[in-house]
Structure 1
Amino acid sequence: MKANVLKSLSILCLFTFVNNSIAQNKPNIILLYADDISARELPIYGSTVWSLPKGGNLKGGDTSDKKYRAKTPVLNKLAKKGVYVKTAWAATICSPSRAMMMTGRYAHRHKWWHNSDKGKAPDRKGSWNLYDSSPYSLEVVAKKGGYATYWAGKTQMKTEGFKFDEGCFTPGEGSYNKAIHTTDFRLETKKVNGTKKIFNADTGKEVSSYVQSGWYWKPHVQLLNHPRASKALEWWPNNKAAKDTFGLNTFGPDVELNFIFDFMERKQKEDKPFFIYHTSHLGHDAMDFLNPEEGNKWPGTPIVNWDGKKYSKIKPYVTGDNGVYNTHGTITEDGIHNHINYLDYQVWLYMKKLKEMGIENNTIFIFCADNGTSGYGKSSPVSQKGTHVPLIIYAPGLNMTKKGLQNVLVNMSDMLPTIADIANVKIPDSYEVNGESLLPFLTTEKPNHREWIYGYHKEKQIIRGNLVLKDGNNTWWDVSSNPKDLISFKKIKEWSLVSPEHRLERDKLNKVLPVFNLHESEYNAPKEGITIKDSLIIRQ
């Protein structure tokens, strides 16, 4: 009964958004999902170490040199004016984390256990698509609530079965290992004397990497259902004006944001709330096509400068061809700190755009990431290295009862039910959702959000409460205190030396794990597929 009262109060509080410019009664939602960024990389989390340009790792790739710490004045401000979560978790690597985000469910339901470890579809002919395993995905819930939906950036999955109204994909689906006419910034497989090898299509030279399309400079871009495109999925640039300006100076994250802003403007004219799912590549390492011989992990970005009030940007100017380029001092050095700096710049552009459109007070902005930093936490089952990500929620028009740092536990699976609550959509009880809506915590006097959070890495399970953590190697950690590097918890080797409360929480977590521990027994999709018993409904 108490939970239902809290839910009702949170929904009531939601509709106290103040906006003098429009009568729209549902807030817009922007979910910016960055790539491979640990919480420790953002200054707001106060870590004493972060990643060097070549990557943090156990061999000494971490640093406390402030030269390599990101500068995020805008995200800092949003975190303090809104809320930011001390301990937010995803899965340990991209695909299963995105599956968790988009479905609100864990791998025991969608079967995406790891990038290279996915359960087969019912016909056993390929991996199970998320939209088949979990038909009530983010955009389906948002659309039911009356939202126009847009997906921009990284996909890392088949897109045709999702129900987004429009999209801008970088790289576009199907671009891998194919000679897309717009750009030769890609790594492709070729057979040499019967052996597969990987080559840089721009230089013709063999490289030691994985097949990838360019998503930063001179990117592969594909538009979904753009109103001025001639077909549902169309490669961009697709008109003379765009073709005349596209080239070495085109930066993929800029392209994404330009199309997002265009969508926002069009939906505002239609007086329709929008949901933006912005899955940025920023934070993800990649082939540095502008410096192919230097072995850079995170290619440079356009240079941006903060003067204390606003950002300015140096216009990129790149010349050259076939792997020999001159950036003329208009692009940063490599390093994840520069990627995070550029994300901060893009968040500033978001805030500026929302103010110009008069909808800042009618928009909920969420910033988070999909897993830990490459070379440090990504794909690591150790402690919370792979799972600990940033989470900032800024909603100036929402009657939030919380502000600043929140010492609570949040899963990325919580985003779907939160968005359902914002959209006033009821997900039927017969449909399993593992996430829990954040709205009651944010808008009522509810003191905590959830008792435990969960992550996964292939067959390995990771779980923690407020006192103890069990990682994927079955090591227990005492997480009751917060170490300066956010990770150096004490191992629990003798349970008699910790408090009774620690042992009680351990016992509770051990009871949770068997529910999701189906990697061995139910690895693939059920052969009969799934049946949806009840529909989404709009709350009255």
Structure 2
Amino acid sequence: MRSFLPLCTALFLFASMAQGASRPNVVLILIDDFGYECVTADGGESYRTPVMDKLAATGVRFSQCYAQPLCTPTRVQLMTGLGNRRNYTHFGHLDPSQITFGNLLKGAGYATCIAGKWQLSNGLDGPAHFGFDEYALWQLTRRPGRYKNPGLEINGQLHDYTKNEYGPDIVSDYALDFITRKKDQPFFLYYPLMLTHEPYDATPDSADYIESKSGKNQKPLGHFPDMVAYTDKLIGKLVAKLEELHLRDNTVLLILGDNGTGRGTPSRFQGRDVLGGKGTTTAWGTHVPAIGNWPGHFASGQVCPDLIDATDFLPTICEATSMPVPAELKIDGRSFLPQLRGEQGNPRDWLYAWYNPSGGATAKAEFAHDAHFKLYTDGRFFAVKQDDNEKSPLDDQTLDAGAKAAKAKLQAALKQFDGPREEAFIKQSQPFGGEKGEDANGNKIGGGKGRNKAGAPVNPPPP
């Protein structure tokens, strides 16, 4: 297990260096099950996202941002800056030896809060252990409903709602209150939204919110358009609060999806019909929207085609807050702050993914790709620009010069990851409390019973 002592010493030095300096606030929004096709600015034609569209029009949107196919694998990468090959143990869990952006920013003197979805086990102490001063969370030690009449945990206390309250509203109110209370000091709000994950239930803006029942009429689309619109509305409320408090010009705002849209969810995108691919390693399971906005500091109205992934957000946040990433972490991420400023930066030639929701010694899928081609370790090679559902592997005998060069590049990339995983992260143990999760196809798994260290029930069956 990684020692915290050298890191704590380093963080104390970083905080001392930053005393007296003007440091921006940071808000990082992660949207649950929200693929690239969902944002109008990216070419989506099925949903209403005016707030995100405006943020993209006055900031930078990335056309080639990628996550893992499921939520926990992405969250582990996002929070640590490390790829799953190097630190992922099993679904619904973040190994307690890991250092997160919460630890780093708290150590640098930031007030820190996480509000939304947890799904990383480690009990009631988990958020504090990973650097968050306070929290309002769903699926911390249990998994009741998340939408109407939710069950949440707020700073160690269980809250169960029964009067048609809406979980995302409660969490939003907490996030806005945190911003208000911390407006006179640098703060970091990590806001992993509970939306837009199934069940595709009614929102408070849906005509049938009061009488609707969870899970009714949700397939294949249900209230998903309403959920996307409500997600956009909640982001708008946060932006409005920052403006009201005169914090907007001193706040870095970053938005991304955690994986593709729910499997089989139909959408219209750039003139064609597409299906959500959550749980798959195609573009529809991994290609997600990403937007950065910081008035006066980031470029305005730019579309960046550079490859980025979830590991890149930690170093980007650190660079934006003038906080060096401790060398001992040896992260995989690469800062894209220069691109946000409209500069060339140090763009990637390829991205690498190791994916197995259950953990273990070997990947269920391991591949490298750029914006045009993808190569798996089993030899399958796709022209993903044209074949985004990966239906037709390319034959070596038919490759043109460009495809041959791309395959050689990706072969060299995969060779860098030859050999076994780090032994410390080869585990097949059950998640904390028998936590429920999803398998590689997005199906529910797990769901044992038990009680956490505080005596609260762990994962009773959802209502």
Residue 239 of structure 2 is aligned to residue 377 of structure 1: no
TM-score, normalisation: structure 2: 0.75
Q: Cα–Cα, structure 1 residues 405 and 443, in superposed 2: closer, same or farther, change >3 Å?
A: closer
Q: Cα–Cα, structure 1 residues 378 and 267, in superposed 2: closer, same or farther, change >3 Å?
A: same
**Whole-angstrom CA distance in 2 between matches of 1:324 and 1:70:** 21
Which of the two has higher C-alpha Rg?
A: 1
Aligned to 1:273: 186
Aligned to 1:139: 102
Q: Cα–Cα, structure 1 residues 73 and 317, in superposed 2: closer, same or farther, change >3 Å?
A: closer
SS in 1 for 2:307: strand
**Whole-angstrom CA distance in 1 between matches of 2:113 and 2:102:** 8
Residue 45 of structure 2 is aligned to residue 77 of structure 1: no
SS in 1 for 2:327: coil
Instruction: Report if aligned partners of 1:144, 1:425 keep a CA contact under 8 Å in 2.
Output: no
Equivalent of 2:425 in 507, 516, 525: 525
Q: Cα–Cα, structure 1 residues 497 and 325, in superposed 2: closer, same or farther, change >3 Å?
A: closer
Q: Cα–Cα, structure 1 residues 34 and 493, in superposed 2: closer, same or farther, change >3 Å?
A: same
Shift of residue 472, structure 1, vs aligned partner = 7.4
Aligned to 2:38: 41
Residue 250 of structure 2 is aligned to residue 362 of structure 1: yes
Q: Cα–Cα, structure 1 residues 96 and 517, in superposed 2: closer, same or farther, change >3 Å?
A: farther
1:449-528 correspondence runs (5 A): 449-458=347-356, 459=363, 460-471=365-376, 474-479=379-384, 481=385, 487=388, 491=392, 493-516=394-417, 522=422, 524-525=424-425
Aligned to 1:386: 285
SS in 2 for 1:430: helix
Residue 294 of structure 2 is aligned to residue 318 of structure 1: no
Instruction: Report if aligned partners of 1:88, 1:411 keep a CA contact under 8 Å in 2.
Output: yes
**Whole-angstrom CA distance in 1 between matches of 2:96 and 2:255:** 24
SS in 1 for 2:105: helix
1:136-535 correspondence runs (5 A): 137-159=100-122, 160=125, 161-171=129-139, 173-176=140-143, 213-224=144-155, 233-236=156-159, 246-268=161-183, 271-286=184-199, 298-303=200-205, 318=210, 334-375=222-263, 376-381=276-281, 383-398=282-297, 400-401=298-299, 403-443=301-341, 445-446=343-344, 449-458=347-356, 459=363, 460-471=365-376, 474-479=379-384, 481=385, 487=388, 491=392, 493-516=394-417, 522=422, 524-525=424-425
**Whole-angstrom CA distance in 2 between matches of 1:81 and 1:374:** 29
Instruction: Report if aligned partners of 1:91, 1:387 keep a CA contact under 8 Å in 2.
Output: yes
Q: Cα–Cα, structure 1 residues 337 and 516, in superposed 2: closer, same or farther, change >3 Å?
A: farther
Q: Cα–Cα, structure 1 residues 319 and 434, in superposed 2: closer, same or farther, change >3 Å?
A: same
**Whole-angstrom CA distance in 2 between matches of 1:147 and 1:526:** 34
SS in 2 for 1:257: helix
1:53-92 correspondence runs (5 A): 69-92=46-69
**Whole-angstrom CA distance in 2 between matches of 1:438 and 1:84:** 12
Instruction: Report if aligned partners of 1:468, 1:478 keep a CA contact under 8 Å in 2.
Output: yes
Deviations 1:103-132 (A, max 9, x none): 1101222124x638xxxxxxxxxx7x4331
Shift of residue 102, structure 1, vs aligned partner = 0.7
Q: Cα–Cα, structure 1 residues 466 and 74, in superposed 2: closer, same or farther, change >3 Å?
A: same
Q: Cα–Cα, structure 1 residues 83 and 324, in superposed 2: closer, same or farther, change >3 Å?
A: closer
Q: Cα–Cα, structure 1 residues 362 and 281, in superposed 2: closer, same or farther, change >3 Å?
A: same
**Whole-angstrom CA distance in 2 between matches of 1:472 and 1:37:** 27
How many residue pairs get matched? 380
**Whole-angstrom CA distance in 2 between matches of 1:284 and 1:37:** 8
**Whole-angstrom CA distance in 2 between matches of 1:144 and 1:260:** 21
Equivalent of 2:91 in 115, 122, 127: 115
Q: Percent identity?
A: 27
Tell which has more relative contact order, 1 or 2 (C-alpha 8 A, sep 6+).
Answer: 1
**Whole-angstrom CA distance in 1 between matches of 2:110 and 2:348:** 28
TM-score, normalisation: structure 1: 0.65
Q: Cα–Cα, structure 1 residues 393 and 472, in superposed 2: closer, same or farther, change >3 Å?
A: farther
SS in 2 for 1:255: helix
Deviations 1:414-460 (A, max 9, x none): 00111111221212333210010011222253166211123332111
SS in 2 for 1:425: coil
Instruction: Report if aligned partners of 1:319, 1:325 keep a CA contact under 8 Å in 2.
Output: no
Instruction: Report if aligned partners of 2:138, 2:152 keep a CA contact under 8 Å in 1.
Output: yes
SS in 2 for 1:386: helix
**Whole-angstrom CA distance in 2 between matches of 1:401 and 1:363:** 14
Could you say what the CA RMSD is over the residues aligned between the two structures, in angstroms? 2.9
**Whole-angstrom CA distance in 2 between matches of 1:452 and 1:145:** 32
Poorly superposed stretches of 4+, deviation over 6 Å: 323-326
Instruction: Report if aligned partners of 2:114, 2:189 keep a CA contact under 8 Å in 1.
Output: yes
SS in 1 for 2:54: helix
Aligned to 1:230: none
**Whole-angstrom CA distance in 2 between matches of 1:40 and 1:169:** 27
Instruction: Report if aligned partners of 1:103, 1:416 keep a CA contact under 8 Å in 2.
Output: yes
Q: Cα–Cα, structure 1 residues 46 and 317, in superposed 2: closer, same or farther, change >3 Å?
A: closer
Q: Cα–Cα, structure 1 residues 447 and 153, in superposed 2: closer, same or farther, change >3 Å?
A: closer
